[in-house]
Structure 1
Amino acid sequence: MISFPAKGTHVTVRWGILGCGDVVRKRVAAAIQAVDGCELLAACRRDADSLKTFCDEFSVPRGYPSADQLLADEEINAVYIATPVHLHLPQTLAALAAGKHVLVEKPMALTPTECELMINAAKEINRTLGVAYYRPFYPAIERLGQLIQTGQLGKVLAVQIACSAPIVLEEDGSLPWRVKSQEGGGGPVMDVGSHRIDVLLRLFGDVIDIRGICSRKSPDAVENVATFALRFDDGPQASVTCLFDAVHDPDSWTVIGTQGIVDATPLNSGRLVIRTCDGDQVEHHPPHANYNVPLIADFVAAIEEGRPPHVSGEDGLRVNEVIEQIYRDAR
């Protein structure tokens, strides 16, 4: 179990989950159940058999076939939204209107305007709103930030990143929502690229120039290959290639400075190879075995302490603003 000490009054966060897809089954449900002060009270899925299977697997006492029914449950005080991106705005607004705190999957919404509506709604009723970007909690990212801030790499010149996500067909053989533009908002830029954008913004600050190239299998499809370049206010440039369909995820991350290079490939491993004039140094900073546990723990602490979570709605908005400009330039 992991717990973050709270300064405020202790509360039990009783969670309901909207959407029981892969990410929830693999990590989110177990993460909620692993954090002190949390109770996974309910889940929602339209398919009755799938809902029962999920509730049985994770010993969830309440299963609801509709979001409205789950949100009407007065014992639930926080909702994790893990549905397709086009549902994030309406479901977040409905959850907030029902008085719940909301942690929403990434990307936060389809557009920056939608993100702003979600942020304003949370502020109006004084509820906590967070976005499920979990890589800021990686110890390797914290260490990378230290190397950059202390100047051990000299002046950072460039960052090179490549990442991919598989496309798995639904049980009936149909395409998943991630490749449907009306449901997911885009392809790998929205899906896996958003994670990298979030970390880059945290490490290097404001973006002052954005370029994007997107390739599609057909004119009406989302991109399956995208490369974008970001130039930051303090000078560094980042180039990111994100893909659907690649057999292996390169998960590469290389930072190049005037005095050194850090290779954090694969990023999910936590292994850093630091190359300077003094030679190579290998460090290991593995993430939590369940990536979502520190994210959930911080969100609960934010509720207790009356502060914004480490990954706030404003952070989600910044990522969506960059994504929108990438797509605009690519067009």
Structure 2
Amino acid sequence: MSKIQDTEVRWGILGVGNVCEVKSAPAMNLIPNSKIVAVMRRSEEKVKDYAERHGISKWYTSASDLINDPEVNAIYIATPPNAHLELAKLAAAAGKPIYVEKPMARTHAECLEMITICEKANVPLYVAYYRRELPHFRKIKELMDAGILGEIRTVHINLKQKLDATLITKVETNWRVDPELAGGGYFFDLASHQLDLMDFFFGKITHASGFASNQAKTYEAEDIVSGSFVFNSGVLGSGNWCFTTSANAEVDETIIYGSKGTIRFETFGKGEFTLNTDEKGTQDFSFELPKHIQQPLIKTIVGDLLGSETCYSTGISGARANWVMDQLVKEKV
């Protein structure tokens, strides 16, 4: 059944910042039965510039004005997380489906409020965890579901990044390390993708605990997190995230261990992974990623709204990543 009373999804975008330049928004005009009709940003100069460069005829500096534009029938919230809840309230009140950037909100409690609001208003809520639809991650899940690794035992996430020296003088302009705006630091920005991907692979995480610290004290948010978690499928997991290492210590590697082999991949790298099994040894897989990285997910959202397919990155699944992050940073050391 169609979730909008139209044959076309006509997007209004709130917050046309960097993510809307290549990653997401341009894809909305490439997907059949989908187009951008209006954009909004508080800066008139910046929103007008974006609209002109991307060939969009209508622009606003008021979120309410865009949401209540009768031509707009779906809302993409592309602001920092601190605005997600309030903007979702406005969009839901207008009866318009919502696609919100990740992390879904600053806290799990805010996520639950967004879900309740949308359920009461009977509007769909989707979250931009687009890795669920990327070809190499779909292939990894396909291989595991086919039993190539045997029984899945455990998974380990290892993400290390060097300290960004520019933060020392530009912390106030980087919303990603301001807990008031983002909920936490780079952990909330990046690990949210990884934890949602684990949810896609192995199911819901039912138990999680960890430790968080601010070691470098360059900004207010945590800069190192270590924790463990348990999936409802019985798989055990662990992770270590540090954003203040040296350049030569940088790493992005997730390893899935099964009874018959392993899979290794980068979450934020190319569309590649390595499969190593007892039977066939090492095999390397490589997939071309789309120019507009969110396009495969947005295609499922458009299809879901028009009744032709199903999108599996919803407010329900998106909130689960926030719950896990809340648990992992709860214990400060």
- Fold in common (TM above 0.5): yes
Aligned equivalent of 2:11, options 7, 15, 19: 15
| Equivalent residues of 1:188, 1:242 under 8 A apart | no
In the alignment, which residue of structure 2 is the partner of 1:234? 233
- For residues 276 and 104 of structure 2, what CA distance do their matches in structure 1 show? 36
- Say if 2:265 is the partner of 1:269: no
CA 1:152–1:287: 2 relative to 1, 3 Å: same
Q: Which amino acid aligns with 1:251?
A: D
RMSD: 2.8
CA shift in 2, pair 1:224/1:12, >3 Å: same
Aligned to 2:295: 293
**Structure 1 CA distance for aligned equivalents of residues 81 and 160 of structure 2:** 19
Instruction: Report if aligned partners of 2:115, 2:125 keep a CA contact under 8 Å in 1.
Output: yes
Structure 1 window deviating more from structure 2 (105-114 vs 231-240): it is: 231-240
Q: How does 1:28-107 map to 2 (within 5 A)?
A: 28-107=24-103
Asked whether the equivalents of residues 81 and 88 of structure 1 are also in contact (C-alpha less than 8 Å), the reply is yes
The answer for unaligned runs of 5 or more in structure 2 is none
- Structure 1: gaps (5+ residues): 1-5
Q: Does the Cα contact within 8 Å between 2:14 and 2:76 map onto a contact in 1?
A: yes
SS at match of 1:197: helix
Tell me the distance in 2 between the aligned counterparts of 1:329 and 1:41: 45
Q: Is the aligned partner of 1:194 residue 2:192?
A: yes
Q: Say if 1:114 and 1:201 are closer, same or farther in 2 by CA, change over 3 A.
A: same
2:263 alignment partner AA:
V
| AA aligned opposite 1:221 | E
Give how far 1:89 is off.
Answer: 0.3
Deviations 1:75-128 (A, max 9, x none): 111111011111100001101111211100011112222222222222223222
* Paired residue secondary structure (2:239): strand
**C-alpha separation between the residues in 2 aligned to 1:21 and 1:49?**
13
Deviations 1:31-59 (A, max 9, x none): 11111111211111111211121111111
Partner of 2:307: 305
2:175 to 164, 173, 177: 177
Q: Hey, what does 1:211 align to over in structure 2?
A: 209
Give the 3 Å change call, closer, same or farther, for CA 132–202 of structure 1 in structure 2.
same
Cα contact 2:261–2:277 (8 A) shared by 1: yes
Instruction: Summarize the Cα distance change of 1:155–1:330 in structure 2 as closer, same or farther, 3 Å threshold.
Output: farther
Whether contact under 8 Å (1:250, 1:266) holds in the other structure is no
Secondary structure at the residue paired with 2:289?
coil
How high is the TM-score relative to the length of structure 1? Answer: 0.89
Q: Which residue of 2 aligns with 1:3?
A: none
Identify the residue that residue 321 of structure 1 maps to in structure 2. 323
- Whether the 8 Å CA contact 2:95–2:122 is kept in 1: the answer is no
Structure 1: distance between partners of 2:242 and 2:15: 25
